[in-house]
Amino acid sequence: MTEADVMPLLVEFMHVLLAGIGIYFTIVSAYLAGLYGFLARASLLLKVVAFLFFTLIFGFLMQFNYGAGLFQRGLVQTLADLQASGVELSSGGQVALESARSGLNQKVRFALWLGSVATYIAMFYLTFLHNWRYLLGEDEEEAAVRRRALSEEN
């Protein structure tokens, strides 16, 4: 494999990374909207089902991201192998290699995982522990009246 083969794949990796971040924000935003819109008032069973589904999708996304990171590290290692074999890398190849050697790639991965763990913990808290009545403008008595009315309708 040559540098000319590796560089387009590294650029494509950045596109995949940005698409993954976009999907990540979409999933989290949709879940937050669902929490505010109806899960805050939902039964525990519905909250558990919704959170399990969120966990499944979130886990899949993190696994995909992990695999993409391995792929990226393999491409960077290919550049390092090329340079070690005496091939002079272009400026782009040198920057990609230096980015990995300086730890920038590792810092980005760490920030992504740290942010993901923090987001997951926040979603757990907001799903099961947060008192949404204050945001929804209900006190305990109003919430009980609303629940009674809903159960009478069913």
Taking all residues of the chain, what is their mean pLDDT, rounded to a whole number?
A: 89
Q: How far is CA 135 from CA 47, 51, 130, in A?
A: 18, 20, 10
Pair 47, 128: CB distance under 8 Å: yes
Residue 45: predicted pLDDT: 94
User: pTM of the predicted model, to two decimals?
Assistant: 0.77
Read off the pLDDT of residues 105-128 as tens digits, 9 standing for 90 and up.
Answer: 899 889 999 999 999 999 999 999
Task: Classify burial at 2, counting beta carbons within 10 Å of its beta carbon; exposed 0-12, middle 13-18, buried 19 or more.
Answer: exposed
Number of structural domains the chain divides into: 1
By residue count, the chain amounts to 154
Q: Give the helix ranges, DSSP H, for the chain.
A: 3-37, 44-84, 91-101, 104-124, 133-136, 140-153
Q: Which domain holds residue 95?
A: 3-153
**Through-space distance between the first and last CA atoms of the chain, rounded to whole angstroms:** 66
Q: Are 34 and 50 in contact (CB under 8 A)?
A: yes
pLDDT confidence of residue 93: 92
> How does pLDDT run across 75-101, given as a tens digit for each residue?
999 999 999 999 999 999 999 999 999
